[in-house]
């Protein structure tokens, strides 16, 4: 099993870690419905109550944190691990993209729709160097049916949002190649990773039939493994939280599965890089409510707007 250090525990389904230059971290707690700050000494404090289901978190060009809010999940304990379950949160009113300013505490909604279509369950986001961001909408899993998922691009000032790919199947993680020519999307229930080749920010070059969504299939995991959120390393390898098997799956830009780094939790949901030379991986173990740190063999890919 991977040798790791527990940074914080007793978290309520943590996701979306963001490592800061001062040694602190922000993350979201989906079940607690908060943005949470973890100080360098491990002290945990609530930075904001968002309501709904804060799911993804990223630092933007203005120093603010941007939030994918899925509108709320339901949870259950199975074999001692916390998991989501199908069904609609009693306060669910749709999904949204939010902007949070840690300096002032201001929290506001930037987007709750794309054109005529309401957002269902925004999940994960990544900024490009131009200050826009790609985000996934997972849809919503009800007891007897689910929504289609999608991939979107938006500006941080709330002025522009466009649909890039639809439909996807439970689109979860999203990441950008080092040269920002490809945006990657992981699907939870299919265990697949799709690559969308970009001609310009927010403009994907669509692949024809038989692609169901305009992307090209990069990789499909064998067996029953479900994919969650991701970060890229400096070589452009995708490091993806992998459910059921409880690991970080590392996939090359060519689609080769390079390795799987195991953790003692079947709900390994997300990863970010921080520390000196970005050689520390911070991983959310959502089933046990932990944020852990592990030395990583490769440097993480620097993000354009690190805090």
Q: Are 227 and 186 in contact (CB under 8 A)?
A: yes
Enter the CATH code of domain 5-295.
2.120.10.30
In this predicted structure, what is the pLDDT of residue 1? 57
E-only strand ranges, 256-300: 257-262, 268-274, 280-285, 290-295
In this predicted structure, what is the pLDDT of residue 149? 98
SS3 of 276, please?
helix
Reading the block at residue 65, the tokens are 């944190």
Identify the active-site residue in 128, 228, 233, 265: 228
Q: Are 234 and 279 in contact (CB under 8 A)?
A: no
Give the span between the Cα atoms of 23 and 19, in whole angstroms: 7
In this predicted structure, what is the pLDDT of residue 231? 98
Binding annotation for substrate: 123
Could you say which residues of the chain have pLDDT below 70? 1
Reading the block at residue 91, the tokens are 């306060």
Reading the block at residue 235, the tokens are 């070589």
Sign of CA dihedral 155, 159, 163, 168: positive
Give the span between the Cα atoms of 218 and 220, in whole angstroms: 7
Give the span between the Cα atoms of 130 and 67, in whole angstroms: 18
In this predicted structure, what is the pLDDT of residue 2? 74
In this predicted structure, what is the pLDDT of residue 306? 86
> Among this protein's residues, is 228 annotated catalytic?
yes
Going from N- to C-terminal start, the domains of the chain cover 5-295
Give the span between the Cα atoms of 178 and 272, in whole angstroms: 15
Phi-psi region of 13 (alpha: psi -120 to 50; beta: other; left: phi over 0): left
SS3 of 127, please?
strand
Reading the block at residue 299, the tokens are 């440097």
Binding annotation for a divalent metal cation: 172, 228
In this predicted structure, what is the pLDDT of residue 64? 98
Contacts by 175-181 with C-beta closer than 8 Å and gap 24+? 175/126, 175/230, 175/231, 175/232, 175/238, 176/126, 176/128, 176/134, 176/232, 177/232, 177/236, 177/253, 178/232, 178/234, 178/236, 178/301, 180/128, 180/129
* Contacts of residue 83, Cβ cutoff 8 Å, sequence gap at least 6: 75, 76, 77, 267, 287
């Amino acid at each position: 099993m991977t040798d790791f250090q527990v940074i914080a525990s007793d978290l309520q389904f943590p996701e979306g870690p963001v490592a800061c230059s001062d040694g602190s971290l922000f993350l979201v707690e989906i079940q607690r419905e908060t943005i949470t700050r973890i100080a360098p000494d491990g002290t945990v404090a609530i930075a904001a109550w968002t309501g709904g289901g804060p799911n993804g978190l990223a630092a933007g060009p203005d120093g603010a944190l941007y939030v994918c809010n899925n509108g709320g999940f339901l949870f259950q304990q199975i074999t001692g691990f916390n998991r989501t379950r199908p069904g609609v949160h009693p306060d669910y009113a749709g999904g949204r993209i939010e902007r949070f300013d840690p300096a002032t505490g201001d929290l506001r909604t930037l987007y709750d729709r794309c054109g005529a279509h309401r957002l269902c369950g925004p999940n994960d986001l990544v900024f490009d160097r131009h200050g826009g961001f790609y985000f996934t909408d997972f849809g919503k899993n009800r007891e007897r049916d689910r929504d289609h998922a999608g991939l979107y691009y938006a500006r941080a000032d709330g002025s522009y949002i466009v649909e890039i790919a639809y439909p996807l199947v439970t689109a979860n993680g999203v990441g950008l190649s080092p040269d920002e020519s490809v945006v990657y999307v992981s699907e939870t229930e299919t265990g697949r990773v799709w690559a969308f080749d970009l001609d310009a920010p927010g403009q994907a070059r669509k692949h024809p039939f038989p692609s169901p969504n305009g992307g090209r299939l990069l990789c499909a995991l064998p067996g029953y493994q479900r994919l969650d959120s991701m970060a890229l390393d400096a070589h452009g390898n995708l490091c993806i939280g992998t459910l059921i098997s409880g690991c970080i799956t590392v996939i090359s830009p060519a689609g080769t599965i390079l390795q799987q780094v195991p953790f003692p939790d079947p709900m390994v949901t997300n990863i970010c890089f921080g520390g000196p030379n970005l050689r520390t991986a911070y991983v959310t173990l959502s089933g046990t409510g932990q944020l852990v740190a592990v030395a990583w063999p490769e440097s993480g890919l620097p993000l354009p707007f690190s805090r």
